[in-house]
Chain A
Amino acid sequence: MSNEREVIGIHAEAKRGNPLAHVFDELTRFCRARSLFMLHYCTGCGAIELPPAMTSRFDMERLGIQPMVTPRQADILLVTGYVSVKTLKRIILTYEQMSAPKYVIGICSCTVNGGMYWQSYATAKVLKAYLPVDMYIAGCMPRPEAVIAGLRALIDDIEADRAESWKRYYQHYDHYLGNQQSLFGDDWQTPTDILAEAEHYGLLGEHTRGKHTALLERHQRPLEALEMRLRVPEEPE
């Protein structure tokens, strides 16, 4: 990652204005790096090494990392292993629901290049085409020590303000959306309005909009409320 990073949004304002705001940012990052909530979503077989990493033996909690069950309160999305196309949809929906700043860690070789399932018809091979990834932990599967080392590296990145993948998602939304559309079809849409969020955060970049977001807006349709699709036999009166 380059040192000459674009200073955007709230940071730009802080630079111009109050110097104390900078101190506050650092303090925020310091605290943020020490209380991370990891989304409890086992997407693949690498999840089997997370219970050992979380529980008594390796004890992730001493780093301030705990599992969290709702995406809206979680900071880290662990993509543990291969992502089938059906799971990838849920991963993207989950990721977009998480509140920024959010971090994605790809665990196992399968998230890097497809791993063992390089010829499978059912899996998405390269995770970073669909979501911005902060860190990869390679291995099949990585040991709990490797998972913890990866999380510590992420903590260092957060403290040094290097873990910025969530900004990349807003700034290059067109790229990610294009890959998602090529996999899920042209009418792919999620309940989250990423463009409006990018505008709100002041993260609209020159690559945020493009031909894929134009396609998205063309296909935009009202979200249907959840319908009862199960047929239940009539009860005798």
Chain B
Amino acid sequence: MRPENYQAKSHPPSNEYELNFGPNHPGIEGNYALRVKLRGDRVIEARADAGYLHRGFEKLMEGRLWIQNIALVPRICVPDPTPMEVCYSLSVETLCVLEAPERAQWIRVMQLEMSRLAAHLFAFGGHAATTGLYTNMFWGVADRDLILDRFEELTGGRVYSIYNLPGGVRRDVPDGFLERLAALLDYLEARLEDYDNLFFRNQVFIRRARDVGAMTREQALEWGVTGPNLRATGLAFDVRRDDPYLIYDQLEFDVITQQAGDALARNLVRRGELKQSIRILRQIIERLPAVPGPVRVPIPNPLAWNAPAGETYTRVESSKGELAYYVVSTGGDKPYRVQVRGPSAMHAVRVLEKLSVGARLEDVAQIMFSLDACPPEVDR
């Protein structure tokens, strides 16, 4: 483009203008964009511009063996990969009428809760950074790293573990792992007070987040909101409690709710869930050594593994909301169709578009980070 070719078009005088918000923008989570129309600094319309991270997962999975897909699925949601593996494994187990041994189920729940802790710490960090509270981001990410260390010890991978597979988990927990995890939990629990002082009782955060992006319970249900965002509107729905999978029915935990439904309430729900995850992990540390048995059941030769024809819909509670896999098999060695029902697809597209209307431009980032949407999972 030569400068002399540039011809500015004249527009009728107006105080309305359009802004591309992202994908290269610090107020956007990941590679995602919004196109907002503003009057002054009020948003009058917002359109999500997704697709920057589209890789065609659902198509790729149709071309790979049942067991190969285990390496693919955690990439769908990068900050919280473990629920993806577990949910896919559960789907294949349902199709093939396998059941993971009890010890494997305990280990899976342990991973899920560790992953939830890590994802929530990361989410606070991101949200705090949009408010200008960088200390919290530095602390949150550094504390998340300690959890990733435990993941590395358990599974060999920091972020993507590829540790669950249909029929169980790959290995048993290493010696001394549970003691080190207990020490980490003690550290994190002592740290929560610091986070409260730094962030959750901070007037900067409270005044920025209160009444921003508020939705009612009816709106949330209509828009397909799940997870902490739904619980922030006062509805105590948690897949872990209401449709228990693995061994969640043997564990004690509370479903945290808030009433306001705004950005502050959504963060306070996550803050409460940190405590509950620590509580669940403590119970696992106490009871896992007494659970006998192998950690995986024998599976057929993965290269010639034909799952029986059928279809299954399996759901788990990820840190972002309700995550489900709809898997169809026609009796082949590869899935016929896999549909991922991710929570962020609702949160980041429709809910974000609706909640942004009427908000001020600087609050759009608040809304997006408080919804804790995960762009790679939106685009898939």
Binding site for B on A (CB under 8 A): 39-45, 47-49, 51-52, 54-57, 69, 71, 82, 84, 86-87, 90, 94, 116-117, 119-123, 140-141, 143, 189-193, 196, 220-230, 232
Known: A56-B141, A228-B37. A140 touches B52 (CB 8 A): no
Contact B2 A193 (CB under 8 A): yes
Contact A227 B9 (CB under 8 A): yes
Contact pattern, B 163-194, Cβ under 8 Å of A = 1, otherwise 0 = 00000000000000000000000000000000
**Can you list 25 contacts pairing A with B, beta carbon distance less than 8 Å?**
A39-B24, A41-B24, A42-B30, A44-B53, A47-B78, A52-B148, A54-B141, A55-B137, A69-B26, A71-B24, A84-B52, A84-B54, A86-B51, A87-B31, A87-B52, A117-B56, A119-B60, A223-B5, A223-B6, A225-B9, A228-B37, A229-B18, A230-B35, A230-B45, A232-B44
Contact B79 A90 (CB under 8 A): no
Contact B30 A122 (CB under 8 A): no
Q: Give Cα A48–Cα B374 distance, bound, in whole angstroms.
A: 12
Contact A119 B63 (CB under 8 A): yes
Q: Give Cα A221–Cα B63 distance, bound, in whole angstroms.
A: 42
Candidates A48, A191, A226, A230; contact of B159 at CB < 8 Å: A48
> Chain B residue with minimal CB distance to A90?
B23
Contact A49 B159 (CB under 8 A): yes
Contact A116 B158 (CB under 8 A): no
Q: Give Cα A120–Cα B3 distance, bound, in whole angstroms.
A: 38
Residues of chain B lying within 8 A (CB to CB) of residue A48: 78-79, 159
Judged by a CB distance under 8 angstroms, whether B16 is at the interface is yes
Contact B54 A196 (CB under 8 A): no
> Chain B residue with minimal CB distance to A217?
B2
Residues of chain A lying within 8 A (CB to CB) of residue B138: 55-56
- Tell me how far the C-beta of A88 lies from the nearest C-beta in chain B, rounded to whole angstroms: 10
Contact A43 B31 (CB under 8 A): yes
Residues of chain A lying within 8 A (CB to CB) of residue B16: 228, 232
Residues of chain A lying within 8 A (CB to CB) of residue B145: 52, 57
Candidates A49, A220, A224; contact of B9 at CB < 8 Å: A224
Residues of chain A lying within 8 A (CB to CB) of residue B52: 43, 84, 86-87, 90
Contact A123 B23 (CB under 8 A): no
Q: Give Cα A117–Cα B148 distance, bound, in whole angstroms.
A: 25
Contact A90 B159 (CB under 8 A): no
Instruction: Choose among A49, A82, A122 the residue with the greatest number of B CB atoms under 10 Å from its CB.
Output: A122
> Chain B residue with minimal CB distance to A67?
B26
Contact B3 A193 (CB under 8 A): yes
- Tell me how far the C-beta of B70 lies from the nearest C-beta in chain A, rounded to whole angstroms: 12
CB within 8 Å: A-B pair count: 128
> Chain A residue with minimal CB distance to B14?
A228
> Chain B residue with minimal CB distance to A85?
B54
Residues of chain B lying within 8 A (CB to CB) of residue A39: 24
Judged by a CB distance under 8 angstroms, whether B303 is at the interface is no
Judged by a CB distance under 8 angstroms, whether B66 is at the interface is no
Judged by a CB distance under 8 angstroms, whether B139 is at the interface is yes
**Interface residues in B134-164 (C-beta closer than 8 Å to A):** 137-139, 141-142, 144-145, 148, 158-160
Contact B55 A122 (CB under 8 A): yes
Known: A41-B23, A48-B159, A56-B139. A120 touches B31 (CB 8 A): no
Q: Give Cα A105–Cα B168 distance, bound, in whole angstroms.
A: 38
> Chain A residue with minimal CB distance to B59?
A121
Candidates A42, A87, A193; contact of B1 at CB < 8 Å: A193
Residues of chain B lying within 8 A (CB to CB) of residue A87: 23, 31, 52-53
Contact pattern, B 198-236, Cβ under 8 Å of A = 1, otherwise 0 = 000000000000000000000000000000000000000
Contact A228 B18 (CB under 8 A): yes
Q: Give Cα A94–Cα B22 distance, bound, in whole angstroms.
A: 12
Contact B75 A45 (CB under 8 A): yes
Judged by a CB distance under 8 angstroms, whether B7 is at the interface is yes
**Interface residues in B48-87 (C-beta closer than 8 Å to A):** 51-56, 59-60, 63, 71-72, 75, 78-79
Residues of chain B lying within 8 A (CB to CB) of residue A49: 158-159
Q: Give Cα A123–Cα B60 distance, bound, in whole angstroms.
A: 12
> Chain A residue with minimal CB distance to B140?
A55
Contact A225 B8 (CB under 8 A): yes
Contact B1 A190 (CB under 8 A): yes
- Tell me how far the C-beta of B158 lies from the nearest C-beta in chain A, rounded to whole angstroms: 6
> Chain A residue with minimal CB distance to B64?
A119
Contact A143 B60 (CB under 8 A): no
Contact A90 B24 (CB under 8 A): yes
Residues of chain A lying within 8 A (CB to CB) of residue B7: 222-223, 225
Contact A84 B53 (CB under 8 A): yes
Residues of chain B lying within 8 A (CB to CB) of residue A45: 75, 78, 376
Candidates A42, A52, A122; contact of B31 at CB < 8 Å: A42
